[in-house]
Amino acid sequence: MKFSIEAARNELAEVLSAFTGQLPAVERSGRAIIECLHQGGKILSAGNGGSAADALHLAEEFTGRYKGDRPSLAGLCLSVDATVLTCIANDYGFDAVFSRQIEGLGRPGDVFVGFTTSGNSSNLLAAFEVCRERGVTSILVSGGDGGKAHGLTDYEILVPSRTTARIQEIHTFILHQWLEMVEQEEWH
């Protein structure tokens, strides 16, 4: 199949249109994020590869700023500290790189957002399990049917596609909607 920008744009438009049914889930999970932050909790995020970039983008917008000036909010991406990742991977295996950090950093009332296009990343599955054990609210942001992570989290948002690029494009839309919601809040 020959590459076509027009075909990619059309596919993205179709996926975005089909995603409309997930907008209530985006809003509900966004409310959970806001509640967590108002209670002084933190937002933890993680993913692998391109999904790690989405997780980092979300976290940095909380601690930095999205559009307007507001107090810094607690956002921490678990995918970025090379020393922590390699230490845990070496000592416990790569499947534990996120769950181990949640064990040390996550508190009841915190929110963990796991980005995964397939829903089958074993390190995120382990992280969601630790969230359940520790009382950390969990949000799955995935594609297709959510893979093995489907049903393991408090909230899930599934992009109706199996094309990684389209899923990740909608993941950016999701995290931007959460940030828009946060920006509308009164922060002291």
pLDDT tens-place string over residues 102-152? 999 999 999 999 999 999 999 999 999 999 999 999 999 999 999 999 999
pLDDT tens-place string over residues 7-54? 999 999 999 999 999 999 999 999 999 999 999 999 999 999 999 999
Number of domains in the chain: 1
Task: Please give the pLDDT value at position 156.
Answer: 98
Is 106 a member of any domain? yes
Query: 23-38 and 164-183 helices cross at what angle (nearest 10)?
Result: 50
Is 94 a member of any domain? yes
Is 130 a member of any domain? yes
Q: pTM, whole model, 2 decimals? A: 0.96
Is 32 a member of any domain? yes
Is 16 a member of any domain? yes
Residue 176 has pLDDT above 80, yes or no: yes
Alpha carbon dihedral 40, 129, 146, 55, in 10-degree steps, equals: 40
Is 188 a member of any domain? no
Task: Please give the pLDDT value at position 87.
Answer: 98
Is 9 a member of any domain? yes
Cα distances from 63 to residues 57, 72, 114, 152, 178, in angstroms, run: 10, 5, 18, 28, 14
Task: Please give the pLDDT value at position 3.
Answer: 84
| CATH number for the domain harbouring residue 145 | 3.40.50.10490
Q: In whole angstroms, what is the distance from residue 147 CA to residue 128 CA?
A: 13
Task: Please give the pLDDT value at position 188.
Answer: 76
Domain of 16, in residue numbers: 5-183
Q: Please report which confidence band the pLDDT of residue 2 belongs to, taking 50, 70 and 90 as the band edges.
A: confident
Is 176 a member of any domain? yes
The residues near 60 (Cβ < 8 Å, ≥ 6 apart) are 75, 77
